[in-house]
């Protein structure tokens, strides 16, 4: 028989525009933890300014795992679920602006997938339909896991991340300045990720991932590649083989100089092979319970080579 639904006590925040829910037992590990449910970004930022110790919850697919395992015990929760401004995407000249509260399922929208194919490819590999319906882009950045699937894509694209706080207003930082270590961001107290800006694709993009199985799997290695035919550049970032996604500008320059930009084909197979070897040398994998470093380095070589072959062969 299904357990009884928890009783909930509802109230209003002092400003009156944010609903406050006090769950009552038995409702799991957030029992008794006040949860603020603002309906606007201003409301959310105001609540965080009043209490920077609030724990931000978007989809909860990372946070609730930590809570359930006792790794985090929030004193108060700020849920972004009702903040519609954080969800959705739009085109702003040559960029796509994607709200932090946009779910993986939203990222699979064919209209968006045409503009940022690698992000859609990465989203397709995340968790299960339930996780994709709930987990968000902002949550992936907030967790800053070395294996977070959107992160190599955002690094390869040189994404800019929009942040906001009540005290400091809005600012924009390159993703590499936000994700600064394993599960570590440079977010200031009271600050939220509000959106991500990426360029509209001007060439083929790829996202490839190796895990222990085909679905519901954390990356052992991932590789994102973005070719910009207009600027004649290649961006490549690796996931799960360093404390943060790994890019190597020297390797990107090496391959850019060897591509047949006018012909649109790989001039020689040795270019893809050399690219794979160089990206493997740039990676900084560790041995852990998922895979030994040597396997990861080998997987990087294969994925980087394959990504370049697919991107360049598909023109």
| Closest distance to ligand FAD from the beta carbon of 27 (Å) | 17
35 vs 143, beta carbon nearer ligand FAD: 143
48 vs 279, beta carbon nearer ligand FAD: 48
User: Which range, of 13-21, 134-142, 246-254, 290-298, touches ligand FAD by CB under 6 A?
Assistant: 134-142
User: Which range, of 9-17, 137-145, 171-179, 264-272, touches ligand FAD by CB under 6 A?
Assistant: 137-145
Residue of 38, 60, 117, 158 that binds ligand FAD (CB under 6 A):
60
| Closest distance to ligand FAD from the beta carbon of 142 (Å) | 2
Contact call for residue 127 and ligand FAD (CB under 6 A): yes
Contact call for residue 135 and ligand FAD (CB under 6 A): yes
Report how far apart, in Å, the C-alpha atoms of 93 and of each of 48, 96, 177 are: 32, 8, 24
193 vs 255, beta carbon nearer ligand FAD: 193
Residues within window 70-89 making contact with ligand FAD, judged by CB under 6 A: 80
214 vs 257, beta carbon nearer ligand FAD: 214
Residues within window 275-304 making contact with ligand FAD, judged by CB under 6 A: none
- Per the omega criterion (within 30 degrees of 0), is the bond before 26 cis? yes
Cβ distance 237 to 279 under 8 Å? no
38 vs 60, beta carbon nearer ligand FAD: 60
Residue of 35, 143, 165, 283 that binds ligand FAD (CB under 6 A):
143
Residue of 21, 126, 154, 198 that binds ligand FAD (CB under 6 A):
126
Contact call for residue 192 and ligand FAD (CB under 6 A): yes
Binding characters for ligand FAD, 214-253, by CB under 6 A (x = yes): --x-x-----------------------------------
Q: What is the DSSP string of the chain?
A: -PPPPPPEEEEE-TTSSEEEEEE-SSSGGGTT--EEEESSHHHHHHHHHH-TTPEEESS-TTHHHHHHTTS---SSEEE-TT-GGGS-EEEETTEEEEETT-BHHHHT-HHHHHHSHHHHHHHHTSS-HHHHHH-BHHHHHHHT-TT-THHHHHHHTT-EEEEEETTTEEEEEEHHHHEEETTEE-PPTT-EEEEEEEEPPSS-EEEEEE-SSSSS---SEEEEEEEETTTTEEEEEEESSSSS-B--HHHHHHHHHHSBTTTTB-S-HHHHHHHHHHHHHH------SS--HHHHHHHHHHHHHHHHHHHHHT-
Residue of 41, 96, 100, 119 that binds ligand FAD (CB under 6 A):
100
Tokens of 166: 């009540």
Residue ranges that bind ligand FAD, judged by CB under 6 A: 55-63, 65, 80, 100, 125-127, 131, 134-136, 138-140, 142-143, 148-149, 187, 192-193, 216, 218
């Amino acid at each position: 028989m299904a357990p009884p639904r928890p009783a909930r006590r509802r109230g209003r925040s002092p400003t009156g525009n944010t609903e406050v829910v006090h769950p009552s037992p038995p409702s799991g590990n957030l029992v008794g933890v006040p949860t603020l449910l603002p309906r606007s970004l201003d409301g959310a930022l105001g609540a965080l300014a009043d209490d920077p110790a609030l724990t931000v919850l978007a989809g909860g697919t990372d946070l609730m795992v930590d809570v359930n395992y006792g790794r985090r015990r929030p004193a108060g929760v700020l849920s972004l679920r009702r903040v519609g401004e954080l969800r959705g995407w739009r085109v702003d000249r040559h960029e796509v602006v994607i709200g932090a509260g946009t779910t993986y399922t939203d990222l699979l929208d064919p209209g968006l997938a045409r503009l940022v194919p690698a992000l859609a490819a990465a989203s397709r590999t995340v968790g299960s339909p339930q996780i994709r319906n709930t987990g968000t882009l902002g949550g992936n950045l907030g967790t800053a896991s070395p294996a977070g699937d959107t992160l190599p894509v955002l690094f390869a694209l040189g994404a800019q991340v929009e942040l906001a706080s009540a005290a400091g207003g809005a600012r924009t930082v390159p993703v590499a300045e936000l994700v600064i270590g394993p599960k570590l961001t440079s977010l200031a107290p009271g600050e939220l990720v509000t959106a991500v800006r990426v360029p509209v694709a001007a060439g083929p993009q790829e996202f490839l991932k190796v895990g222990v199985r085909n679905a519901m799997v954390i990356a052992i290695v991932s590789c994102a590649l973005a070719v910009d035919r207009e600027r004649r550049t290649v961006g490549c970032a690796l996931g799960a083989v360093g404390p943060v996604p790994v890019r190597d500008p020297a390797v990107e320059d090496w391959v850019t100089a060897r591509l047949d930009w006018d012909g649109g084909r790989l001039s020689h197979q040795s270019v893809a092979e050399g690219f794979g070897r160089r990206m493997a040398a740039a990676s900084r994998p560790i041995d852990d319970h998922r895979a030994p470093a040597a396997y990861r380095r080998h997987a990087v070589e294969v994925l980087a080579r394959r990504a370049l072959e697919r991107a360049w062969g598909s023109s």
